[in-house]
Structures are given as C-alpha cells and as structure tokens.
C-alpha cells in the first residue's frame, strides 16, 4: 500500500486570515507553512494549459519532491457526471492532458487516469460514460495514459485512520496502491460543502454504491467532512492540480453556472490549496467545512497567514461576486446566542421543478435515506427522512433539483431566497 505523505512544506506567509487581507500579505518563512502555486491560464487552448500546468507544478514545490514517479502513477480528475466540458461540471480534458504531460516531463512512465463518478451505484457503466462525454478518456488516451473506472476494479476495506473507534473505509484499490497519486480537481461551489476542491475531490476514490452508503452512515455535514478528512489521511496525494480556468459558481457542483476564473492552482498540501481556492472565491477558508475539519486534523495548513502563494499574487486574482449556492449546508455566521435557532432555521431540503423533471428516477435510486418517491409529475421528498446530503441535486441530469429552507424564516433570515438566481 502506498504510504508517501505530502512533500515538505515550503516557506513564507500571509499577514491576515481574511481573504482580502491575505491578498495584501507579505512573505515570510517558518515551520508549518505551505506553498500554493497560482498561475494564470485564460483559456483551454491546449498549449496555454500545458504551459500553465507545467509552471504551477514547478512553483508548487512538488518538483524534486514527487516520489514514486518510477512506479504506477494515478491521475484522479473530478469526473462527476456525463456532461460536456463547456458545462464546467467535470475537470476539463485539457487540464488532464496537461497534467499527464507535466508528469511525463518529470519522469513518469506508467500513468493511469481514473475515477468513480456520481451515481455510479446505479449501473457499472456510469463512470465509463462520464469519462467519454467529459472528453477525459480521449484526452488521456491521446497522451498515452490508460483510462479506468474504479467501479470496474477491486475495492478494499481498510481501518479508519482515526483508530479502532473510527469507521472503516471502503476505497478503490487503485488509488491506494498507486505509487504516486495526483489529484486534479475542478473549482466549483457545492450545495453541501460550499466549495469542492482538493479535499472533496478524493471522494471519487469511493467506488460505486459505497458512496450512497457513506452518505447514509454519515448524515450530518460534520460527519461527512470527517469522512472526507479520513480519505485524505489515507490516500495522501503527492500533488493537487486544480482546474480553475472556468469554475462553477451558484448551484454547484452540477447545476451551477460556469464562471471564468482563469487560473491553475497547484500544491502538495490539499488544505492549503483549498484555502487559496476559497480566498479566490471570496470565502473565508474556515467557512468551508472540509477545509476546517482537515486543518483541525493536521492534514494541512488552512490558515492563509501561513500559506505562501507562488506565482500570481492573490490580490490580483480574487473573483468579485462569486456566487455561492442558494442555501449551502453551512450555517452562516451568527451571534453565538442565536446559533441553535439559526441551525434550526438553516435546515435545508431539496425541491423538484416539475417543468425540468423527466421522471428518470436517478434521484430516487440514489437517495441514501430512501426519502424520495417518484410521484406522477416529479419526485416527492419525505422531509423527516431526508438527511440533506443533496445527492439528488448533484446527480440530477436535468438540473431539476433546487434547494429550499425547510422553515420559511430561513430564507428571510439568510437572505438568499430558495432557488439559485438562474433558476428563478
């Protein structure tokens, strides 16, 4: 089993924890610091992407620190669904191709590209279809890489990194056994976790139907974030290269709107990479549960003051008005005495748009809480059974699922209304 950890953290820091303040930070050095590379890339022109990824890998402090390139190398993009590249749902194929080329230049020979997509429990060919439609299979093959679906390969059960009291993990064997694992996420909003980046991308290492079971066993956001941190702790990718050329804002990770950001972001520390992505999107990193929990577990550096940005200064790449999910599963900042009330008012549930629903049944089949029934015109949800995992929202092929506050005061209090603006 592969046991390499992250490469040694690098130098310099920021002067303030706020995203905007961080952008004006000075450099420094010291223990516990991480480097994240931020490189401009204005389009998916393959030549531009190749240059940007090569530079990001160089700046990320990974060069010289990437172990295992002489053995099986696994590139793991975000292959959420069978959607074309222009939808910004999956990692763009040009970025996957560029990562393969950069790894070859560093000496990698045996490279495989693989993932397990959302909804993979329903059929064994769901990930195959997503790899094809996203353009990733063709791009990878064009650069001499093997392409696999984890759903067609072995999975293994391994003990929890939290010790005997923690839940065992079921993970695909290939990412566990790769000598060098390189994660290639896509920057997107996420209705459950607010943002998806380096930490969340590793959920694809959970094969097929096991994803549904994980959601069922970890119904709260805190439990789910802890599970994602477990996966990071076990897999420890050597490098993360994020496609933030065109991100997704609004009702991500599948029903949002493409938003040009024009960046490749890379680093060896997944928490630091996600902290920088949050800052780019105008979000305090600690608001992102996966970043907060992974940082608390010591899996990386989530404090912008202790992250050095190499390449383009953060101040120059902040995205104004990056739209967040209408009702993300994150309780907004409120005074402590209002926390319990806020939590109850912030409870969210899915809602189904009849005019967009084709009654395909994907959401019903994938609901880990068995909270959905397919009604005559659209699914109906049992609010008591629903665990607000938003798998239905994520997996609906027709963007027919939106999110509402269960209590009408929620929308009033948190002020974003029930539906994402582009769906109103």
Figure out which of the listed residues 47, 107, 298, 361 binds ligand SF4, where binding follows CB under 6 A.
361
CB 284 within 8 A of CB 275: no
Helix or strand (DSSP H, E) at 112: strand 111-115
Q: Does 80 bind ligand SF4 (CB under 6 A)?
A: no
Q: How near is the Cβ of 329 to ligand SF4 at its closest, in Å?
A: 9
Choose the stretch contacting ligand SF4; rule: CB under 6 A; options: 129-137, 166-174, 298-306, 379-387. 379-387
Least distance (Å) between residue 372 CB and ligand SF4? 5
Contact with ligand SF4 (CB under 6 A) among 206, 279, 389, 402: 389
**371 contributes a contact to ligand SF4 by CB under 6 A:** yes
How many amino acids of this chain bind ligand SF4 (CB under 6 A)? 28
For the bound state, the minimum distance from the C-beta of residue 202 to ligand SF4, rounded and expressed in Å, comes to 20
Q: Which two tokens stand for residue 165?
A: 């009291």
Q: Which stretch binds ligand SF4 (CB under 6 A): 34-42, 144-152, 280-288, 362-370?
A: 362-370
The 10 Å CB-count burial string (b at 16+, else e) for 146-173 is ebbbbbbeebeeeebeeeeeeeebbbbe
> Cis ω on the peptide bond leading into residue 55 (within 30° of 0)?
no
Task: Identify which of residues 332 and 361 has a Cβ nearer to ligand SF4 in the complex.
Answer: 361
Residue 170 within binding range of ligand SF4, rule CB under 6 A:
no
Applying CB under 6 A, among 22, 99, 362, 416 the residue interacting with ligand SF4 is 362
The Cα–Cα gap between 423 and 131 comes to: 28
Write the DSSP assignment of 83-95 as a string of letters. Answer: --GGG-SS--HHH
Least distance (Å) between residue 231 CB and ligand SF4: 20
Asked if 386 interacts with ligand SF4 (CB under 6 A), we say yes
- For residues 224 and 206, what is the distance between their CA atoms, to the nearest angstrom? 13
The reply on whether position 401 binds ligand SF4 by CB under 6 A is yes
* Token pair listed for 69: 């390139």
Selected binder of ligand SF4 within 232, 372, 402, 416 (CB under 6 A): 372
Q: Minimum distance between the CB of residue 213 and ligand SF4, rounded to whole angstroms? A: 13
Least distance CB 396 / ligand SF4 (angstroms): 3
- The interface region with ligand SF4, picked from 221-229, 248-256, 333-341, 364-372 by CB under 6 A, is 364-372
> In residues, how long is the chain?
424
Binding status of residue 363 toward ligand SF4 by CB under 6 A? yes
Cβ neighbours of residue 64 under 8 Å, at least 6 residues apart?
none
What single-letter DSSP state applies at residue 125?
A: T
In the list 106, 190, 396, 414, the residue contacting ligand SF4 (rule: CB under 6 A) is 396
Of the residues 202, 357, 414, 416, which one makes contact with ligand SF4 according to CB under 6 A = 357
Answer for the pair 402, 419: CB distance below 8 angstroms, yes or no. Answer: yes
Q: Of the candidates 268, 220, 232, 175, which has an alpha carbon nearest to the alpha carbon of residue 368?
A: 220
Q: Collapse the DSSP code of 404 into the 3-class scheme (helix H, G, I; strand E, B; otherwise coil) and give the result.
A: strand
Rounded to the nearest whole angstrom, what is the least distance from the CB of residue 172 to ligand SF4 in the complex? 22
For helices 221-235 and 289-296, the axis angle rounded to 10 degrees is 60
Q: Taking Cα atoms as reference points, which of 419, 315, 401, 415 lies closest to residue 118?
A: 401
Select from 47, 132, 41, 147 the least CA-distant residue to 84: 132
3-state helix, strand, coil in the chain (%, to 5): 35, 20, 45
CA pair distance 30, 28, nearest whole angstrom? 7
Enumerate residues 327-346 that contact ligand SF4 by CB under 6 A: none
With binding defined as CB under 6 A, does residue 203 bind ligand SF4?
Answer: no
Q: How far is CA 77 from CA 43, 81, 90, 205, 240, in A?
A: 18, 12, 8, 10, 10
CB of 222 to ligand SF4, least distance (A): 16
The residue to which tokens 């550096």 are assigned: 301
**Is 18 or 351 the residue whose CB approaches ligand SF4 more closely?**
351
Residue number with CB closer to ligand SF4 (66 or 371):
371
Q: Please identify, among the stretches 30-38, 46-54, 73-81, 372-380, the one whose residues bind ligand SF4 according to the rule CB under 6 A.
A: 372-380
Q: Does 367 bind ligand SF4 (CB under 6 A)?
A: yes
Give the shortest CB-397-to-ligand SF4 separation in angstroms: 6
Residue closer to ligand SF4 by CB (options 135, 256) is 256
Could you tell me the sign of the dihedral formed by the alpha carbons of 196, 198, 199, 205, in that order? positive
Site for ligand SF4 contains 119 (CB under 6 A): no
Of 181, 317, 381, 410, the one binding ligand SF4 by CB under 6 A:
381
Q: Which of 348, 345, 273, 346 is nearest to 314 (CA)?
A: 273
Q: Which residues bind ligand SF4 (CB under 6 A)?
A: 350, 352, 357-363, 367-369, 371-372, 378-379, 381, 386-392, 396, 398, 400-401
């Amino acid at each position: 089993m592969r046991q390499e950890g992250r490469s040694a953290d690098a130098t310099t820091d920021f002067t303030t924890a706020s995203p905007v303040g961080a952008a004006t930070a000075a450099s420094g050095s010291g223990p516990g610091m991480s480097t994240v590379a931020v490189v401009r890339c204005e389009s998916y022109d393959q030549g531009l992407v190749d240059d940007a990824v090569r530079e990001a890998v160089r700046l990320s402090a990974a060069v010289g620190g990437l172990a295992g390139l002489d053995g099986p190398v696994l590139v793991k993009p975000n292959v959420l669904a069978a959607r074309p590249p222009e939808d910004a749902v999956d990692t763009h194929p040009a970025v996957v191709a560029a990562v393969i080329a950069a790894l070859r230049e560093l000496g990698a020979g045996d490279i495989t590209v693989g993932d397990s997509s959302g909804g993979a429990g329903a059929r064994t060919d769901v990930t195959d279809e997503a790899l094809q439609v996203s353009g990733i299979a063709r791009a990878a093959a064009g650069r001499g890489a093997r392409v696999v679906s984890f759903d067609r390969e072995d999975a293994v059960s391994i003990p929890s990194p939290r010790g005997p009291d923690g839940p065992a993990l079921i993970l695909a064997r290939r990412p566990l056994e790769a000598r060098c694992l390189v994660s290639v996420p896509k920057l997107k909003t996420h209705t459950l976790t607010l943002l998806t980046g380096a930490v969340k991308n590793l959920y694809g290492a959970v094969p097929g139907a096991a994803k549904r079971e994980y959601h069922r066993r970890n119904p709260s956001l805190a439990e789910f974030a802890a599970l994602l941190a477990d996966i990071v702790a076990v897999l420890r990718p050597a490098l993360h290269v994020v496609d933030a050329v065109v991100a997704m804002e609004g009702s991500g990770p599948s029903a949002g709107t493409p938003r040009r950001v024009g960046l490749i972001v890379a680093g060896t520390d997944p928490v630091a990479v996600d902290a920088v992505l949050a800052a780019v999107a105008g979000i305090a990193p600690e608001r992102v549960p996966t970043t907060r929990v992974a940082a608390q577990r010591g899996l990386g550096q989530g404090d912008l003051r202790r992250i050095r940005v190499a390449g383009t200064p953060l101040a120059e790449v902040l995205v104004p008005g990056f739209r967040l999910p209408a009702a993300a599963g994150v309780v907004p900042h409120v005074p402590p005495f209002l926390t319990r009330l806020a939590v109850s008012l912030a409870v969210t549930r899915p809602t189904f748009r009849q005019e967009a629903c084709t009654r395909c049944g994907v959401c019903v089949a994938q609901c880990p809480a068995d909270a959905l029934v397919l009604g005559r015109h659209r699914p109906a949800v049992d609010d008591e059974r629903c665990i607000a995992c938003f798998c239905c929202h994520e997996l609906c092929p027709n963007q027919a699922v939106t999110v509402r506050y269960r209590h009408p005061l929620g929308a009033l209090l948190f002020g974003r209304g029930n539906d994402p603006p582009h769906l109103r």
